[in-house]
Amino acid sequence: MKLLATLILFTLTLAATAAETTASDTVDVQHVLDAYHAAVVSHDGARLAALFLPTGGTWLNVLSDEAYAAARARSPDAVKVRVGSYADFARLVSTAKASFNPTHTQMQISSDGTIASVYFDFVFFIDGKEQNRGSEAWQLVKGSEGWRIAAISYSSYPH
């Protein structure tokens, strides 16, 4: 019985900690950006997923013309615009053994306090080596529980 009570207390503590983290992660757009980076680097797929609207989000990866031509040379069925999901990315972040480090520069944030857009250049490093680069655009909305990412679209110039 004592073990059961300890397990229940531990579970409630974890849930409360996760809720507090999500609340501080989504207080403003910059916190969402910082939490996204921290979640990817630390392989915390649950924290990453909590930054997104739970349903209805968009995740688009658009290959550059050069990357698309190379992909078509390898496979005639290659697509230029790939539709994905934050859930797939969060799963990858959670299960990957390699170290990830997305870097963001030239960041531009526009907001009216209820909706926001963020545009920036990125370089995605895996195990310290550049794997992809491009530009990224996010759409965010401020709901009753803070800011959430509604959509991500990014250009892809893989190496």
CB-side neighbour CA atoms (13 Å) of 115: 5
Tokens of 38: 């921290």
In this predicted model, what pLDDT tens digit does every residue of 76-85 receive, in sequence order?
999 999 999 9
In this predicted model, what pLDDT tens digit does every residue of 78-115 receive, in sequence order?
999 999 999 999 999 999 999 999 999 999 999 999 99
pTM for this prediction = 0.81
Instruction: Show the domain range for 137.
Output: 2-156
Question: In CATH, what number is assigned to the domain containing residue 139?
Answer: 3.10.450.50
Q: Is the pLDDT at 6 greater than 50, yes or no?
A: no
Three-point CA angle 103, 37, 57, nearest 5°: 105
Distance CA 99, CA 115 (A): 32
Q: By three-state DSSP, how is residue 50 classified?
A: coil
Residue 24 is predicted with a pLDDT of 72
CB-side neighbour CA atoms (13 Å) of 20: 6
Three-point CA angle 44, 126, 156, nearest 5°: 100
Distance CA 37, CA 43 (A): 10
If one counts the domains in the chain, the total is 1
